[in-house]
Amino acid sequence: MPLALYALTAGAFGIGVTEFVIMGLLLDVGADLGVSVAMAGLLISGYALGVVVGAPLLTSLTARWPKKTTLLVLMAIFTLGNIACAIAPNYEMLMAARVLTSLAHGTFFGVGSVVATSLVAPDRRASAIAVMFTGLTVANILGVPFGTWLGQLTSWRTTFWAVAAIGIVAMLVIAFLVPKDKAAPQAADWRADLRAMLRGPVLFGLLLTVLGFGGVFTVFTYIAPALTEVSGFPEAMVSPILLVFGGGLVVGNLLGGKLADRNLLWSVLGTLAALGIVMLAMSFALPNPITAVIAVGLLGAAGFATVAPLQLWVLEKAGGAGTSLASSLNIAAFNLGNALGAWLGGVALEQGLGLTGLPLVGAVLPLLALALLLVSLLLRRHAPLVPSN
């Protein structure tokens, strides 16, 4: 794998920290700003919806820019957004700052996925995407637990200052390692891009992404209160347990990439099925501290095993037209799933279902995605929605 690919990993690391670290600090943010845990959880939904809006908007606005320039500008937006989070005086301003930060997310991973696949041989594309997304997994192993610990030790604001510093470092690494490229010779044909987005296989892939990751975030958004109130861990143990989740992310992410390089369809089927099974089991595992830790690790592995297969699916089905836009929209779909999951989990809690019921609610989404995929296989001759490999 070329060094430029690891520069993309560095940017993914910074974005991963700011996206996920808030989950370990929900109790601290809620207490400091005087809002409930469910209200604090909406900071995750707000970020995710910002990605949904920012991905197509910024991808279209930067379509003619050199990709390296685009990546650097996006990291600058990311850094400024985290500074705004650190100095936000109230909940409303923090929400606005989170949305600002999120605008760079979808386009960075969308453009980055296109750059990553262009740097390797055709049979290594899914693995290249997985290497870039390893930045997210390493963020969960190192950045998120450290950020959670730092926020609990000092203040959650200190964590966002630290994330802003990570953004500056990522900008420097991208500036030195990512090769220069030329601007697009002409404006992108938005009509061709739109036609590519409206293809059945592309829309179907986006739907699978929303449902799959919606299930993950129904549970993971509220992982800190689940571990303390259900599993009986002290708050100080949340950060070390997130290391287990991060380890699962690394294993699942790289495994998903290798599986997708071998057979795209079966990798999507298998990872969605594994995710649903893990979440069903997690509901029964949470009350026991030992099985709860195991379930957290398996959730990370099963959740991120879906990333590279689903991202490659959308890239392949979009074809030559609108590749960057399709890639960015799939990142938006991941985050729309995040928002859906955080909202669904909050509704379940407010309806009195309880923290142990969240995995059961979340499991419905990836299992629904799996059912739709199986139905589409049965109807392939009449409505060919699935890839042939």
pLDDT in tens, 34-81: 888 778 878 877 887 788 788 778 877 877 788 888 889 999 999 999
CA dist., res. 54 & res. 101, Å (int)? 10
Neighbours of 61 (CB within 10 A): 11
CA dist., res. 14 & res. 136, Å (int)? 8
Asked if 227 and 292 touch (Cβ cutoff 8 Å), the reply is yes
Distances (CA, A) of 304 to 250, 268, 272, 385: 8, 12, 10, 23
CA dist., res. 162 & res. 157, Å (int)? 9
Our measurement of the distance from residue 86's CA atom to the centroid of its chain's CA atoms, rounded to an integer in Å, reads 22
pLDDT at 382: 54
Give the containing element (helix H, strand E) for 341.
helix 323-350
Question: Which comes out higher in pLDDT, residue 95 or 126?
Answer: 95
For the chain, the straight-line distance linking the first and the last C-alpha, in angstroms and rounded, comes to: 25
Give residue-wise pLDDT tens across range 104-162: 887 888 788 778 877 777 777 777 777 787 787 787 677 777 888 888 888 889 999 99
**Domains present along the chain, CATH in parentheses:** 3-180+188-378 (1.20.1250.20)
pTM: 0.71
The tokens for 180 are 């220069």
CA dist., res. 369 & res. 367, Å (int)? 5
When the pLDDT of each residue in the chain is averaged and rounded to a whole number, the result is 82
The tokens for 126 are 């899914």
Position of tokens 């892939």?
205
Which pLDDT band, with edges at 50, 70 and 90, does 190 fall under?
A: low
Percent of the chain with pLDDT over 90: 15
